[in-house]
Structure 1
Amino acid sequence: MWIGLVYFFWFLAIVAFLFEVFALVDALRTPAGAYAAASKQSKNLWVILLVVANVVGLAGAAGMVSLIQILPIAAFVVAAIYLADVRPAVAPYRKRGGGSASSGPYGPW
């Protein structure tokens, strides 16, 4: 019974780490001006916080940090705050890909 519980928490640690990686990649792909336009903290601060969260999350997924300790939980919370609050706020200010020079404000001419 205990072995199954250990694997369950290890699986949760891996899922949390992937969640943190996704948040970091999204923060890196978002232009710095989008954070200022959305009245959020700077891109540099979010990238630093998410890099630290990824390091702690990787340590938790690798079993180097106990899942009961507060650091892996805090790392997941940082990524969750970014994805729930900052990502939707900066989404309208992201560069849209695939546009051509003849595109108007409502689509191609």
Structure 2
Amino acid sequence: MALGLVVLGIQIWAFSDCLRTAPSDFDRVYKRSKSFWLALTGGGMFFGILYVLPSLMTLSTPPLGMSLILTLGGVVAAGTYLADVRPMLLEVRGRGKGQQNRGSSW
């Protein structure tokens, strides 16, 4: 169950980051559209919730089978977004690798 919660946390992180990003930033890095990534990470988050929720309600082990496969697919999509798309979006926004840490943007 702990692993399912970690996976759900990764999926929520990817979805919330995608939600906060401007659609024009996706066009500037030549990645798929924001709606594509929102659908992919949101769908993964949905299946992650469906995987964890029954085990939290009954305090039992999570189910195996199709829900596990869909949850793993969702975490792969979220991981792809976080490892491939997000770093390029951060560079476009000016917070990427080549930028020095100058503190908060506030």
**TM-score bucket (shorter structure):** 0.7 to 0.9
Unaligned runs of 5+ residues in structure 1 are 1-9, 99-109
Q: Normalising by structure 2, what TM-score?
A: 0.75
Unaligned runs of 5+ residues in structure 2 are 56-61, 96-104
Closer, same or farther in 2 for the Cα pair 1:58/1:91, shift >3 Å? Answer: same
Identity %: 30
Q: Normalising by structure 1, what TM-score?
A: 0.73
Corresponding residue for residue 100 of structure 2 = none
Q: CA deviation at 1:61?
A: 1.2
Distance in 1 (CA, whole Å) between partners of 2:23 and 2:94 is 11
Corresponding residue for residue 15 of structure 1 = 6
Displaced runs of 4 or more, over 3 A: 95-98
Corresponding residue for residue 102 of structure 2 = none
Q: CA deviation at 1:60?
A: 1.0
Corresponding residue for residue 55 of structure 1 = 46
Q: RMSD of the TM alignment (CA)?
A: 1.9
Contact 1:13 1:67 in 2 (8 A): no
Distance in 1 (CA, whole Å) between partners of 2:54 and 2:2 is 11
Larger radius of gyration: 1
